[in-house]
Homo-oligomer: A and B are copies of this chain.
Amino acid sequence: MPKYELDRVFQALADTTRRSMVERLVRGPASVSDLARPLDMSLPAVMQHLQVLEACGLVRSGKTGRVRTCHIEPEVLRAAEEWITRQRTSWERSLDRLGDYLTEDPQATADQEPENRSTS
């Protein structure tokens, strides 16, 4: 999952309407009008949201007769989840290091954190 893809996934999730569509789809496949029914907007608007969800791979759909059936693609959801998890665990690890620093011999953790000792 390349960087720019994550842009699109998070962008897709950054909208209440689209998240509610995802919330519906994780419970099982649905047609476009199933998705549209609880939403207070025109069908074309729903279609556009759907396109955003498809463009980032979060949702797939196929047409049978005149009905388009949509379902989520959980791996993409997982990719976004993983990015966040990685950050959170990284933060927890650096908290631990801080704990070590505060209780241990000062020399042991000498040139770790600051990363920029001025540019001069």
A77 touches which of B26, B84, B113 (Cβ 8 Å): B84
Taking chain A's interface residues, is the majority helix, strand, or loop, or is none over half, making it mixed? Answer: helix
Bin chain A's interface residue count: 35 or more
Q: Which residues of B contact A68 (CB under 8 A)?
A: none
A66 in the interface, Cβ–Cβ < 8 Å? no
Number of copies: 2
Query: Does B90 contact A26, Cβ atoms closer than 8 Å?
Result: yes
Q: A34-B116, A81-B81, A113-B28 are in contact. Are A87 and B23 (CB under 8 A)?
A: yes
Closest to A22 in B: B87
Query: Does A26 contact B81, Cβ atoms closer than 8 Å?
Result: no
A7 touches which of B9, B15, B94 (Cβ 8 Å): B15
